[in-house]
Each structure stands twice: as structure tokens, then as C-alpha cells.
Amino acid sequence: MLAVVYVSILVLIPTIVFADDAQPPDVAIRATDEDFLRQYAETYHFSLGRPRSAQMAPDGSAVLLLRSQPRSFVQDLYEFDCQLGSERVLLTASQIVRGGDEQLSAEEKALRERLRLAAQGIARFDLSDDGTKVLVPLANRLFVIERESGTSTEVKSSAAGFPFDPRLSPDGQRLACVRDGEIYVTDLASGDERQITRGAGGTISHGTAEFAAQEEMGRVHGYWWSPDSRSIAYQQTDTAGMETFHILDPLHPEREPKSWPYPRTGTKNAAVRLAIVPAAGGESRWIDWDHETYPYLAKVVWQEKGPLTILVQNRRQTEEMLYAVDEQTGALTELLKETDTAWINLASSCPKWLKDGSGFLWLTERTGEWSLELRSRHGKLVRSLTPGGFGLIDLAGVDDEQSAVYVTASTDPTQQHVYSISLAGGEPTKLTSAPGNHSFSFGKRAGGKRSGSYLHNYSLADGRAGTRVCDADGSQLGELESVAKEPPLPKVELLTVGQRAFRAAIVRPRSFVAGAKYPVIVHVYGGPHALTVNASPRGSVLQQWLADQGFIVVSLDGRGTPRRGREWERAIKNNLIDIPLDDQVAGLQALGAKYAELDLDRVGITGWSFGGYFSAMAAMRRPDIYKAAVAGAPVCDFRDYDTHYTERYMGLVDENRSGYEAANVVTYCKRLSVPLLIIHGTADDNVYFLHSLKMTEALFRAGKKFEFLPLAGFTHMVPDPEVTIRLHTRIAAFFKQHLGQPRAK
């Protein structure tokens, strides 16, 4: 998925420049503005120190969470006591690492890249179903904490290979992990370890999700415990015949390049199979479906009282099948089939089986918008639970005791609220009211005085944000502590413009002078599954900093973005740029007509990932509108991006060659006539560095002027504070040079 991500590394390659010889105007950044940028960089966008991965204990007695210090990526594990309202430390990274460098396996680094995790120290944990034990992976070692006593014990292994994706069994008596492509199970009481899969090696591995699943399907696991802890379902992955991509560290050519099988659009995917094996060891029972028709294993769910359930897709992602698996025989029973002439979006929260196994919840866009359905154990539709025009976003949780579900929804795509709905049907009840974005999260319910407790996450339009701990009746038990530095809140105006009612955001300088004309910078993403206009102002702190340099910063969400219905989102099918670019231009012109202070003769555009692709395209195709552009980590040719993402929107290459040409930056490089700055990390394994190299080569051959800033050793994100400061200072200076300063009317 195209987005901003994690990483490490420290060195910036000197800029390669192809630009005019004219001296730029004064583009210095004021000291006070650089002070803000340093705070922004050193606190990782003011996120360090906030509670992360908070999880309610099954009995509602406590909340487990991760938190770092305000200027550190190193996280420790804490427990919040719901009755006392106090917090204690369960485990710190320094207790284990003790000042040494944390060494991560290549598989762990890749997974964190897919999860967009910049965290160090304790990056994640696993809580047993009964809530008594916590499994903590740290520095390639495994520790189990007994919550009642706080005692931690290291789980030793004599097997080779680092432990990957370790998880406790539902009964908390064993743990499983992957080592060198095989699954191992350890009995916690005796310490006995057993290898339960065989045959990995070469192109074959067991228990690890392939790249496409991790990056695009939201499926990071490659094995699943049975509810009774007696069996494990696992995937076998065979990458034979796939292309291998290599990443060389240009600052260390003496080092071997890293190599990865990569599913480039139009090429072979990993072959995935599924099997069930006894947790105590034994023969694997393979589960066979029509792999030729449905090569993608999109979801695997194995919940108490429900069958092992799998969701498989065809390569075009226009058809999917949900199957129940007989764990004794491996036989499949079809539960339902979904089709869509454009593509099917995956819903990570469903299927969700009811606690008694009588049926499951299912999310579908069959009616032209998301709706939540209750289906019988055999897949038959019982009833639709959400009304038309409701603005459903996702399933948040299920209260089996009260026969109710919780969902997030909003008819305003800039906000998100929580509702409860009876499983028997009826009108939804709104549970949140403050303007902004809300979500609830529930622990596994195991009985107890507060087993219905939940976490209420909020980020509001007035700038408040945090996580409340709430009792089942909604009363507040406490709030999870944040030690993060609070950002100065930006001044964001939200509005709806244009004939298509585009959602837009405007950020003006704090020193805004009425009557002046300001150059405009469009902050863009413009691609699927992401919004840039949000009721929470906290996401616009960097846009405020940029505006304070003498610009008005605007954002627009056009067709192709989510939360506006199926037709709106799927308007981009087979061509990712034409309609979104037209919408950005139309929305910008509508803003200019409304606000005279926007100087539409001096407009720049900037974005990262898909937004970088969009910025490059905007500069080349609409120089009449956009007079300068910054393209960060841009896709150049979607034939060089991954299969599951690209083919979902663009179709198969052989069936849509004209569309792929129209969406290819190289097609338009000869048209470039405005200043363009291209930025890309050399170690990016999401949008590979080849994309920017392909673009710069085409521009160079066409005799075009441009600037190119490679970031040596960086992947898709730039968490290093010093580099972050220099990077954004450079972007602001670029726009000052080419767009100029505010002018008196």
C-alpha cells in the first residue's frame, strides 16, 4: 500500500541538481520556525510518548500499553489498573538490552516496514486469552510475563534462527513462532520445544505471510492457533519463479545487497497453500481450493465456536469466496461469494463469528455503500443491520451478552463516530457526539466485573486527543497517560467546494494579512484508501509550519478517495490519474473563486508516495495550474509496483495497456516545463528507488531541468530527526524560490 513508513539510517547524499543558474531569493527559515521543525522531528510528529497498542484485559481489570519517552523511539510495557486508576511498569527495554544495540532479523525489519512501525525496544506484545500472561519479543529474545506477580521469564530455544511472529496459544500454555521458515511450539511449563512443520528451504517457507498479504491485504500472520490450542493452521509460501529485487547500500558497496522476491505487476505471485497440523506435532492436512481461480489467500479466521474460515480472491480482485473448513477432513463449505465489476475492498474486521457460533457478521459494498450483515452459520443472510445512507466505516466490536454490535460511521467523511446496533435490528444509537474522530476497542471477554469495559480513542476538532478507559455503562474509569509534547494546534478551515462537493482544508499563515495575495501549496495524496481532509487538526501541524513560511496550504479529496460510496471511489478504475487530477484542479479553482487571497498564478504541489506520484504528474500534465512540484518517494510506472495493489485498480497489464501508459509518469516527462524536486530513499522496498531513477533518466534524456535528492539508506519513511529538519527546510526553500512571497493586493 502506498503510504509513509518506518526506518533507520543516517546519511544524506549530496543533492544532484539540474536547475537554472540564477541565484535564488532569500529563502532562509526563521529561527523560531526551525525550533518548531526540530520539535516536530525529534518527537516524530509529536507522537512519541503517546500510549500505543493499548489492549484491554479480558476481565476488564487492566489495560496493557506501550509507551516511549517524548524524544525516544524505545518503547516499554505498562499496565493501567482500572480499579485504582494507577499505572505500573511491566517490562522495560533497558532491562533486556542494557544499553546495547538491538539487533533485528531481516524478517522482523521487513514486517515492521509493512506495519509502518518506527518503534524500537518493545514494538509489540501478545496477551493470552485469559489475560494472565503477556508474551514480549525483544532483541530477538522471547519473554513471558505473569501479570499477577510481574515476574518475567525468558523462553529459551536451541533451534537456529531468530523467533518471528511469536504468539501465545489461546489457553496460554504454549507459544509458537517461526524460525528459518519453520514453525516451532514451546510448552511454557516444561520448556520443551518442538518443530511442527517440515520441508522449508530454498523458495519454500512455512508460517510467514508473503509480501502481498503483509503490504496490501492487511494480513501480517502466516499461522493461526485453533481456539482449543490443539492445532495450528499455517500457510506454505513458495516464491519459485518470482522476480528477485535487490537493494544495495550505495554508501557501502562492499556489503552484499539485500534480496527479496517481489511480485511486480504482471509477473508471478507467491504460490500460497494452507494446512492444519497438530500443535504437538504430526502430519499436516492440506486444504485445497481452486488455486487457479483464487490465488490470493486474503483472510484466515479461527474463532471459538466458529469453523476455520478462509477468504480467497481471484487475481483481478473482482470475485472472492468465503469458505468454512472442516478441520478434521479439510473439506470446504461455501459460505458466500462476492463479486464487483471494478474491485472488492477487503474489510479487516470481518468475518466476525458470534460467540455462540450461530452466525457471523459480514461487511459488503454490494448495495453501493458499506453495510453490515448478520449471516447464519451456513452463510445465509439473516438481516442487514445498517440503514442506507448511514455512512458505515467499519465494525468496532461485538457485545454478545447484550446482543449488540458497535460500528464506526459518519455521513461526513472528515469525521468518525461510534454507534451501537442491536443484532435483532433497529435504528443505530449514536454513542459519541464531540466533532472529530472516535473509535472504541474491546478486549476479549472472559467474564469478570468489568468484562464489558472498552477503550475510547478520540482526536477532536478542538485539538483534544487521547484514550479514555470506560466501564461497560460508558462511565470513565481513567485516561491513559501521555507524556508526548503537545503540538501548537494549527488553524484549519474545513469546507465543501465545487459542483461535486469536494471536501477541502485551508491552512493560512498565523501572520495572515487580509488583502494580501499568497502563493498556494497543495498538499496532496490523491490516491485510493486515504483522505487528506480531516476534522482533527493535529494532522495538519506540518502544513501550518509550511503556511507560516508565507503560503496558503490547501488539501482536497476528490473521486477515488473512500467514504463517499462505491461509485465515487471506483471512478478511478483502469486509470489512476485522469479523474483525480481533474478533480484537484476543479477543487482548487473553486477555492480560488471563493477566496481572493489565493494566488492561483503561483501554485505549488507536494506529496509523498502516491502523493509524490500525483505531484510529478500534476507538474507535467497541468503546468498551467501547478508552477512547481515536490515529488517524494513517487511511483513512476505502475508496472513496477506490486500486483495486489496495482491490478486491483488498473486491471491486468495485458488487458489495459492504454491505461497503464496514461498512468505512467514517463509518458509525460517530455512535457515538464516547471521546477520539479524529486526525493527518494535508496533503500525503499515499498516504492523502489528504481521509480525515481526511471523518471530522472527520462527527464534527463528529454533535456529537462529538475532537482533530485536521494536519501541514502532510507526506506519509505524518514524518522531521523536531523534529516527530517533538513528535508522540510529544503522543501520550503524550494517553494519560496519558485513561488515567491506574499504580495500586497
Q: Are 550 and 451 in contact (CB under 8 A)?
A: no
At 5 the pLDDT is 37
What mean pLDDT comes out for the span 17-46?
Answer: 69
Q: Residue 22 pLDDT > 60, yes or no?
A: no
Active site residue 284: no
Label residue 324 by pLDDT band (50, 70, 90): very high
At 4 the pLDDT is 39
The 10s digit of each residue's pLDDT in 418-470 is 999 999 999 999 999 999 999 999 987 655 556 689 999 999 999 999 999 99
Measured distance CA(357)–CA(732) in Å, rounded: 57
Asked, as a colleague might, if the bond just before 351 is cis with ω within 30 of 0, I would say: yes
Q: Which of 509, 518, 635, 532 has its CA nearest to residue 584? A: 532
578 DSSP 8-state letter:
H
At 10 the pLDDT is 30
Terminal CA-to-CA distance of the chain, rounded, Å? 44
Label residue 133 by pLDDT band (50, 70, 90): very high
Cell numbers that stand for 305 in this block: 465456536
Q: Which of 397, 535, 523, 555 has its CA nearest to residue 465? A: 535
314 against 95, higher pLDDT = 314
Label residue 19 by pLDDT band (50, 70, 90): very low
264 DSSP 8-state letter:
B
Listed in sequence order, the residues at least 6 apart from 179 whose beta carbon sits closer than 8 Å to its beta carbon are 157, 159, 160, 161, 162, 163, 164
Q: Where in 340-471 does DSSP place strands (E)?
A: 352-353, 359-364, 371-376, 381-384, 392-399, 404-409, 417-422, 429-430, 436-442, 454-460, 465-470
Q: Which of 109, 102, 73, 139 has its CA nearest to residue 721? A: 73
Listed in sequence order, the residues at least 6 apart from 99 whose beta carbon sits closer than 8 Å to its beta carbon are none
At 9 the pLDDT is 29
Label residue 3 by pLDDT band (50, 70, 90): low
Secondary structure (3-state) at 376: strand
At 467 the pLDDT is 98
The CATH code of domain 28-44+486-739 reads 3.40.50.1820
The 10s digit of each residue's pLDDT in 473-505 is 899 999 999 999 999 999 999 999 999 999 999
**H or E element that contains 645:** helix 643-650
What mean pLDDT comes out for the span 591-619?
Answer: 98
Say how far residue 520 (Cα) sits from the centre of its chain.
29
Measured distance CA(229)–CA(304) in Å, rounded: 11
Listed in sequence order, the residues at least 6 apart from 354 whose beta carbon sits closer than 8 Å to its beta carbon are 305, 306, 360, 361, 398, 400, 423
The 10s digit of each residue's pLDDT in 170-209 is 999 999 999 999 999 999 999 999 999 999 999 999 999 9
Cell numbers that stand for 608 in this block: 509523498
| Residue boundaries of the structural domains of the chain | 28-44+486-739
666 DSSP 8-state letter:
G
Amino acid letter, 27: V
Label residue 118 by pLDDT band (50, 70, 90): confident
Measured distance CA(640)–CA(264) in Å, rounded: 6
At 29 the pLDDT is 63
Percent of the chain with pLDDT over 70: 94
The 10s digit of each residue's pLDDT in 399-420 is 988 999 999 999 999 999 999 9
Label residue 6 by pLDDT band (50, 70, 90): very low
451 against 233, higher pLDDT = 233
Cell numbers that stand for 11 in this block: 546519511
Q: Residue 24 pLDDT > 50, yes or no?
A: no
Task: Tell me the sheet residues that pair with 580.
Answer: none
At 85 the pLDDT is 92
At 449 the pLDDT is 57
571 DSSP 8-state letter:
G
Active site residue 609: yes
Q: Which candidate in 640, 642, 684, 685 is catalytic?
A: 684
Label residue 102 by pLDDT band (50, 70, 90): low
What mean pLDDT comes out for the span 632-649?
Answer: 98
CA–CA distance from 334 to each of 311, 321, 362, 364, 380 (Å)?
A: 10, 7, 14, 17, 11
Q: Residue 582 pLDDT > 90, yes or no?
A: yes
Cell numbers that stand for 647 in this block: 491490478
Q: Where in 472-524 does DSSP place strands (E)?
A: 476-479, 492-497, 502-507, 518-523
At 98 the pLDDT is 64
Q: Are 204 and 218 in contact (CB under 8 A)?
A: no
At 94 the pLDDT is 87
Active site residue 684: yes
Q: Which candidate in 206, 716, 728, 738 is catalytic?
A: 716
Following CA atoms 570, 576, 579, 582 in sequence, which dihedral angle do they give, to the nearest 10 degrees? 150
Q: Which candidate in 61, 459, 609, 692 is catalytic?
A: 609
At 27 the pLDDT is 61
Label residue 12 by pLDDT band (50, 70, 90): very low
Q: Residue 160 CB: number of other CB atoms within 10 A?
A: 8
Q: Are 478 and 467 in contact (CB under 8 A)?
A: no
Q: Which of 163, 190, 158 has its CA nearest to residue 179? A: 163
Q: What is the pTM of this model?
A: 0.93
Q: Residue 440 CB: number of other CB atoms within 10 A?
A: 20
Instruction: Please give the mean pLDDT across all residues of the chain.
Output: 93
Cell numbers that stand for 556 in this block: 482536497
